[in-house]
Amino acid sequence: MASVLVVGSGGREHALAWRVSQSDVVDAVYTAPGNGGTPNNIPIQPDDIRGLADFAAERNCFTIVGPEAPLAAGIVDTFAERGLGIFGPTKAAAQLESSKAWAKGFMGRHRIRTARSAVFDDASDAAEYVDSVDYNVVVKADGLAAGKGVIVCSSVQEAKDAIRSMMEQGRFGGAGKRIVIEERLSGVEASYIAMCDGRVAVPMATSQDHKRIYDNDEGPNTGGMGAYSPAPHVDAEMAGTIQTEIVDRTLSGMREEGCPLTGFLYAGIMIQDGTPYVLEYNVRMGDPECQPIVMRMDFDLYGYAAAAASGRLAGMPPPRWRPEHAVCVVLAARGYPGAYTKGQPISIPDTDAHTAVFHAGTARRDGRLLSSGGRVLGATSLGMTLRQAVERAYHTADDITWSGKYYRRDIAAKAL
């Protein structure tokens, strides 16, 4: 029997721990540091790499890393040096996410379609560039910014304000000292995630995220306000194109550059006029895309992660997926992604077999469940149709109570 350590504290980590715990060969799942809904919480923070390695060694755990920060800091390298099993990319491979400028250069070197762009270390040069182009742009912090370091602009002035906020006012700290300015593409977005072992990439179910805080995709970007799976606009032909022209090409390019990628490869895609372009890479499972994806899994996630970590994905059968649709509605604290109140008591109703409530920003104190973050819960439901899954997820979201609860009312509405 195996023990598994899941690193992180969000809804993604709760969902991963929930699915891994259902493996027939896993008898213990630990979460570090976890949240109010995760099992066997260990009080070790994701940036305490030595402490995590010591715990994994003591309990003989296989480790699955949820968030991007410890991957960028080299947790996989440290574990590998100690002979500890871990699923995720090395620090060198994590550059695909930890530096948007590096990723842009990589895509150029390996003929992977993406928007026209330029990289800047100086705000004045960046502003001059915005004046020189004849299209709207997206301004991106180069480094990690918890999924919020992207500002989609509809005018030159908005772009200049975004440049100033990142580079001069320090909106995203050190992550925004260097920026990428790229052409604003239009079309349909999709999240294409694959499990990789350095050579082989096994696609996960397709999904779509909703990044903006308000209905109709308005307001600032967030870490994600909801997701659904499958994404109807990624049919078999489009999935094949993304797999061969983006995912497989990314894997081969990483091997050529001496940093083969193991772990989840997440390609944020814009389908414009029937052609897929890469908006960004992540090197971990998306959040909240993870929640509807794991609800549809009909295979042993631990078994596949362990096979990927040891380069054995080619010998695994194709993963099976439940035929149902799945929808996740993220419940946030009012004010997120800006300032918000913590410590509010939460009440969650009982759910049936079609629905799971994944915790993110929650904590348990003195026997009470309290809000402790911006994105608090994810009501995630299955349905034989997308509409049924939406109705079930929103029924649960409506019944959950705490002071200051907020959620979008249009998750999956475009697909419907």
Q: For the domain that residue 34 is a member of, what is the CATH number? A: 3.40.50.20
Tell whether 289 and 199 lie within a shared domain: yes
Q: Work out the pLDDT band at 39, boundaries 50, 70, 90.
A: confident
Tokens linked to 61: 């755990």
Tokens linked to 149: 């370091």
Q: Work out the pLDDT band at 147, boundaries 50, 70, 90.
A: confident
Q: Which amino acid is at 351?
A: T
Tell whether 211 and 282 lie within a shared domain: yes
Helix (H, G, I), strand (E, B) or coil at 361: coil
Number of domains into which the chain is organized: 4
Q: What is the mean pLDDT of residues 203-213?
A: 94
Q: Is 97 within the bounds of a domain?
A: no
Tell whether 196 and 297 lie within a shared domain: yes
Q: What is the mean pLDDT of residues 71-77?
A: 97
Tell whether 309 and 193 lie within a shared domain: yes
pLDDT score at 301 = 98
pLDDT score at 224 = 94
* Residues of the domain holding 21: 2-90
- What is the rounded CA–CA span in Å between residue 32 and residue 359? 14
pLDDT score at 202 = 97
On the question of pLDDT at 334 being above 90, the answer is yes
**More confident of the two residues 189 and 358:** 358
- What's the alpha-carbon Rg for the chain, to the nearest Å? 20
Report pLDDT digits (tens) over 220-275: 889 999 999 999 989 999 999 999 999 999 999 999 999 999 999 999 999 999 99
Which of 183, 212, 234 is at the close of a domain?
183
Tell whether 83 and 46 lie within a shared domain: yes
pLDDT score at 402 = 96
Tokens linked to 304: 């596949």
Q: Is 293 within the bounds of a domain?
A: yes
Q: What is the mean pLDDT of residues 276-302?
A: 97
Determine the length of the chain: 416
Tokens linked to 143: 């480094």
We report the CATH number of the domain holding residue 134 as: 3.30.1490.20
Torsion of CA 225, 227, 232, 236, to 10 degrees: 130
Asked if 225 contacts 210 with a C-beta cutoff of 8 angstroms, the reply is yes
On the question of pLDDT at 149 being above 90, the answer is no
We report the CATH number of the domain holding residue 355 as: 3.90.600.10
Q: Is 96 within the bounds of a domain?
A: no
Q: Is 74 within the bounds of a domain?
A: yes
Tell whether 387 and 305 lie within a shared domain: no
User: How many angstroms from the chain centroid is the CA of residue 148?
Assistant: 12
Tell whether 120 and 77 lie within a shared domain: no
Place of tokens 């929808």: 327
Q: Work out the pLDDT band at 146, boundaries 50, 70, 90.
A: confident
Helix H segments across 236-289? 236-242, 248-256
- What is the rounded CA–CA span in Å between residue 56 and residue 27? 15
DSSP letter string, 92-118 = TTTHHHH-HHHHHHHHHHTT--B--EE
Tell whether 335 and 296 lie within a shared domain: no
Q: Is 9 within the bounds of a domain?
A: yes
The β-bridge partners of 40 are: none
Tell whether 125 and 77 lie within a shared domain: no
Helix (H, G, I), strand (E, B) or coil at 80: helix
On the question of pLDDT at 133 being above 90, the answer is yes
pLDDT score at 377 = 98
Tell whether 195 and 290 lie within a shared domain: yes
Q: Is 402 within the bounds of a domain?
A: yes
Which of 315, 340, 371 is at the close of a domain?
315
Q: Is 254 within the bounds of a domain?
A: yes
Q: Work out the pLDDT band at 171, boundaries 50, 70, 90.
A: confident
Q: What is the mean pLDDT of residues 291-310?
A: 98
- What is the rounded CA–CA span in Å between residue 358 and residue 35? 10
Mean model confidence pLDDT for the chain: 95
Q: Is 358 within the bounds of a domain?
A: yes
Count the Cβ atoms, other than its own, within 10 Å of residue 185: 19
pLDDT score at 354 = 96
Which class for 160: exposed (0-12), middle (13-18), buried (19 or more C-beta within 10 A)? middle
The structure's pTM equals 0.94
Asked if 10 contacts 16 with a C-beta cutoff of 8 angstroms, the reply is no
Place of tokens 């070790």: 44
Sequence-distant (≥ 6) Cβ neighbours of residue 39 within 8 angstroms? 17, 21, 29, 30, 31
Helix (H, G, I), strand (E, B) or coil at 186: coil
Strands 137-141 and 150-152: antiparallel
Tell whether 228 and 288 lie within a shared domain: yes
Tell whether 197 and 302 lie within a shared domain: yes
